[in-house]
């Protein structure tokens, strides 16, 4: 057999093999079932072999947020008033108005925790932009994962207002150094001079008394003689 005959035989064999392979592929694709909802393709294939499995569908979590954030709280609308007002919607577990640690004054925002998540959602939707004492309340729900663990710390302790009269008395009566006393006297004289100029500009004839300091001797009082 010549070389040309061998090449022709090889070509015929290769064509026959390719045709049989194509027929086998078409037959297997025709027999393969179409995936349905019950026989759907797996979502997870293990790396080390084993049967494939489908991941479970994630269900939407129900609303479990119970904490409502409230801002723009007006002056005078404090814990007792908020307890009475928002208690109309449902049972309140905890309530807190954020206050200044030094003065005890309200920072005009706070938090309310309701017993029922549905009540908290209604309050957040209903009271948003609610006009109260010329202030528009701002409310929103806080998800449980965003609630700080120390949010309700000292929530039951009511801050006592500072006695500003006593604080001012201590500041006024404290002992001053010679330099501090000199600055205070200069400040008083400067303020008194401005007052005298305003009186003169108004056309009022009035002789202002002199300011006597500890450095200057006090003026001698005239003795009254009886005639």
| pLDDT band with cut points at 50, 70 and 90 for residue 214 | low
Q: Which domain-ending residue is among 122, 146, 170?
A: 146
Of 80, 81, 97, 78, nearest to 155 (Cα)? 97
pLDDT digits (tens, 9 = 90+) for 86-124: 999 999 999 999 988 888 888 999 999 999 999 999 999
Domain presence at residue 201: yes
pLDDT at 226: 58
Domain presence at residue 159: no
H/E element, 109: strand 106-114
Chain mean pLDDT for the chain: 79
The verdict on 73 and 118 lying in the same domain is: yes
Of 69, 156, 165, nearest to 111 (Cα)? 69
Q: For residue 210, give its domain range.
A: 179-215
Cα 68 from Cα 140, distance rounded (Å): 6
Contact 107, 98 (CB under 8 A): yes
Domain presence at residue 73: yes
Domain presence at residue 100: yes
Task: Give how many domains the chain has, as a whole number.
Answer: 2
Which range (91-95, 152-156, 165-169) has the least confidence? 152-156
Domain presence at residue 207: yes
Domain presence at residue 187: yes
The verdict on 205 and 137 lying in the same domain is: no
Cα 47 from Cα 175, distance rounded (Å): 82
């Amino acid at each position: 057999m010549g070389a040309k005959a061998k090449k022709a035989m090889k070509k015929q064999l290769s064509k026959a093999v390719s045709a049989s392979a194509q027929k086998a592929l078409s037959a297997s694709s025709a027999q393969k079932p179409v995936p349905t909802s019950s026989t759907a393709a797996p979502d997870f294939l293990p790396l080390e072999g084993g049967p494939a499995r489908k991941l479970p569908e994630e269900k939407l979590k129900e609303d479990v947020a119970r904490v409502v954030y409230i801002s723009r709280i007006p002056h005078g609308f404090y814990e007792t008033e908020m307890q009475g007002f928002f208690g109309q919607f449902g049972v309140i577990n905890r309530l807190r108005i954020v206050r200044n640690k030094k003065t005890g004054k309200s920072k005009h925002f706070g938090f309310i925790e309701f017993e029922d998540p549905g009540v908290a959602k209604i309050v957040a939707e209903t009271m948003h932009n609610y006009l109260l004492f010329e202030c528009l309340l701002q409310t929103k729900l806080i998800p449980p994962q965003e609630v700080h663990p120390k949010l309700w710390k000292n929530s039951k302790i009511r801050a006592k207002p500072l006695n500003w009269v006593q604080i001012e008395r201590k500041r006024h009566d404290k002992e001053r150094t010679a330099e501090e006393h000199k600055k205070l006297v200069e400040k008083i004289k400067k303020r008194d001079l401005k007052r005298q100029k305003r009186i003169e500009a108004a056309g009022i004839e009035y002789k202002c008394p002199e300011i006597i300091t500890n450095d200057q001797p006090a003026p001698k009082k005239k003795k009254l003689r009886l005639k």
